[in-house]
Structure 1
Amino acid sequence: MNRPDARHPPVAPTAISRPWLARLHPGLFGMVLGILGLSGAWQRLGHLDVGGAADVSAVLLIVGVVLLVVLLVLWGVKALRFPAVVRQEWSHPVQGALLALLPVSTLMAVALLVPRHPELTGVAFPVAMLALAFQGTMAWHVVAALSTGQTPPELVTPALYLPTVPGGFVGAMALDALGWHGWATLLVGMGLGAWALLEMRILNRLFAGPLPPALRPTLGIEMSPAAVGALATVTLWPSLPADVLMVMLGVASGPVLAVLTRWRYWAAVPFNVGFWSFSFPLAALSGAAVEAVGHGGWPVAVAMTAVGMASAVVTFLALKTVLLTARGKLLPPV
């Protein structure tokens, strides 16, 4: 069995329990991203005149934004009170990559809020710029570590996609919502380039054998590049023909099937907040499926089924998270 590299010790090397705020995990932002992604899918379903879809989308958007604000405040306090812990997480290959969930979820909120509330553009623009700057810094850090051999092979996981690939695609959706379509297309290209850059390295590790149990929840992120890429593409170019969308959905289905083939490996891991990594890719995939149905003039039941399946996954994750919280096990023990 591979042992952790000495240069990258676990984030919590001591058995002494730390204050709960110091144990705040970046994976919590995966909840925000999944809920917001599902809100977007329901919103698209509402465009097909499905009754009540717009109301469901609005409720999910409120829940996602409130949760995002709460977590951002808590994370800001954590950075002030426990800067050494934040620096340690930043330098860790996996934890550092998961920190990208913070700006990506913020950008997703901008992408959903601004079209509905244009009056928020003045506030949303600087927020989006800060999120993109933070995301770009993390992308630089992750790619530099990976391309110079500083990332131990056993810590190469799909989480490394987050700062560059979903970050680029979701950033593109946010900029497009703000009226910066040209810069948004540039970000789509950067996301595609980063996907190509990282794909071989990450897939090589995944085909080498099962990830360590603690890292298996990150497998959900493997579904993200193709699914979120399809959603970003149809967001920026809404007049794309249905055939093009179906091709993108076909590409996105490959990683989903690849993750499902390993269900015994990740299902054997006790539930933790990391499993929210499955939520946003599935929500994005369902949103892209809704667009394909709308463009192709196909039965609305197909779109409702796609969104219903994504909703079932998010509901399951939410219930498991509530149970975990009630047992006092939401955060890492040390």
Structure 2
Amino acid sequence: MTQTSTDQAATTHSRLEHFPVAFFSAVMGLMGTSLALEVAGFLRVGQIVAGFAVLVFVTQLGFYAVKAIRHPAAVAAEWNHPIKLAFFPAISISLLLGAVALRGVAPGLAEGIWVIGAVLQAVLTLAIVTSWISHRGFGVGQMSPAWFIPAVGNVIAPIAGVSLGHVDASWYFFSLGVLFWIVLLTLVFNRLVFHEPLPGKLRPTLTILIAPPAVAFVAWLQLNGGVLDAPARMFYNLGLFFTALVLLQTPGLFRLPFALSFWALSFPIAAMTIASFRYAALSGAPIFVAIGWALLALLCVIIAGLLWRTSLAVLRGEICQPE
């Protein structure tokens, strides 16, 4: 082996060690985008995006599995990190979103994927909450909206779970997700209002504030038979508020250097897009149709920008680097 080949192998080995679990949030964004496109009527385009999301997920899962085998200490370090810990459920969420995408075309496969994703989500939620309450090294300054991700995973479960016949399990996940959303919302706002601003890399995670109420709205419709009742209206309008709040913060994001955390922009906007089209169909109010289309256009711009910027970062060797 030449010196160049040896150096390249060492570089690849080093980058693999730093392959972040947070990168699975890209799959969440892509899968959410595929579902948003389908709800908007672009079924074929949505299926293509879903296929690409599956390819990305399988590739990332392979990389992370090799990392776990070769660098178990690096995985343990992520698990013990107060922010990176919250991204582990992005793996189970990706599976649950895959079940949503497949439930209409391959219900048998969708059910198998849903069961795997639900079991993994249940285990990760229990493990993460156990870590939160037993770890004495976490400070208020280490909290960010990324902590919502485990809660979001729980409220996603009913979206496919109800139609696949797992009603009781869906109620379990929904109840848990909403409870921890409320608890974490209080803690996160305390951190945002009374403590130092979020550091640059974590600023994009503010968008995650949108996801819990938007996903809860869609999940609640599955659980209550599609009725636009008071809880459904409450969830959707909370989603609207957090969307407006986050949009007011976006000008500052353009001044930040690119990081993988920018993928946090994608899934929440996709979730709110889906919620808006569903709300418009049930309410019959044209304003919500307009909101849905505006959010879909924004989502497409975000995804295109993220794919371009991530590809550029990969080519430049800017990602999977030590922090």
- What is the TM-score with the length of structure 2 in the denominator? 0.87
CA distance in 1, matches of 2:58, 2:162: 22
| Identity rate, percent | 25
Secondary structure of the corresponding residue to residue 31 of structure 2: helix
Contact preservation (8 Å) 2:85, 2:128 = no
Instruction: State how 1:43-192 maps to structure 2 within 5 Å.
Output: 43-46=38-41, 53-121=42-110, 123-145=112-134, 149-163=136-150, 165-192=151-178
The residue number in structure 2 matching 1:258 is 245
Q: 2:221 aligns with which of 210, 225, 234?
A: 234
Secondary structure of the corresponding residue to residue 207 of structure 1: helix
- Give every structure 1 segment of 4 or more consecutive aligned residues whose post-TM-superposition deviation is greater than 6 Å: none
Residue type at the aligned position of 1:279: S
Q: 1:29-64, CA deviations, whole angstroms, 9 ceiling, x for partnerless residues?
A: 111001111111122222xxxxxx110111111111
Contact preservation (8 Å) 1:101, 1:162 = yes
CA distance in 2, matches of 1:285, 1:122: 25
Contact preservation (8 Å) 1:231, 1:285 = no
CA distance in 2, matches of 1:251, 1:228: 11
- What is the TM-score with the length of structure 1 in the denominator? 0.84
Secondary structure of the corresponding residue to residue 16 of structure 2: coil
Contact preservation (8 Å) 2:98, 2:110 = no
Residues 253 and 42 from structure 1, CA distance in 2 versus in 1: closer, same or farther, beyond 3 angstroms? same
* 2:284 matches 1:289: no
CA distance in 1, matches of 2:234, 2:123: 33
* Deviation (angstroms), 1:308: 2.2
Q: List alignment gaps of at least 5 residues for structure 1.
A: 1-15, 47-52
* Deviation (angstroms), 1:223: 2.0
* 2:308 matches 1:319: yes
Q: 1:22 aligns with which of 4, 7, 17?
A: 17
Residues 330 and 216 from structure 1, CA distance in 2 versus in 1: closer, same or farther, beyond 3 angstroms? same
Residue type at the aligned position of 1:155: Q
The residue number in structure 1 matching 2:264 is 277
The residue number in structure 2 matching 1:268 is 255
Contact preservation (8 Å) 1:38, 1:60 = yes
CA distance in 2, matches of 1:45, 1:238: 21
CA distance in 2, matches of 1:104, 1:312: 23
The residue number in structure 2 matching 1:4 is none
Residue type at the aligned position of 2:29: G
Secondary structure of the corresponding residue to residue 20 of structure 1: helix
Q: 1:94-120, CA deviations, whole angstroms, 9 ceiling, x for partnerless residues?
A: 011122211111221122223321131
CA distance in 2, matches of 1:43, 1:114: 13
